[in-house]
Amino acid sequence: MLTSCVKTEHKIRFKNLYSETINDVKIGPDDFGTVSSGVITNYQSIPEGNGAITGNNGSNGQLSGVYAIRGKGKHLWTATLSASGDLSIAEDK
């Protein structure tokens, strides 16, 4: 009998398109630190499941969102803070 073992691996990065630097960026257990406007961070491993996205900017604004990471195999994800301040997560193709 043959069996297959599909390794599950998820990685995520943060893209800041907002006009201000975002401090203390955290996606689940991953700490991305300070992310300047226009910067895309390196990928970090993240466990499958649900979690919080947090951070803040110099104008006392709070970044707050949630994520759901799922799927078998290897997946790369990007959490993007848009120029208008909207937060989205998409799987990279």
pLDDT score, position 59: 80
* Every domain of the chain and the residues it spans: 9-91
Contact 56, 22 (CB under 8 A): yes
Question: What pLDDT digit, counting tens, does each position of 42-77 carry?
Answer: 999 999 999 999 999 978 789 999 999 999 989 999
Q: How far apart are CA 49 and CA 51, in angstroms?
A: 7
**pTM to 2 decimal places:** 0.89
Which class does domain 9-91 fall in?
Answer: mainly beta
For 22-33, what is each residue's pLDDT tens digit? 999 999 999 999
Number of neighbours of residue 26 by Cβ within 10 angstroms: 16
Residue 36: what are its φ and ψ, rounded to 5°? -70, 160
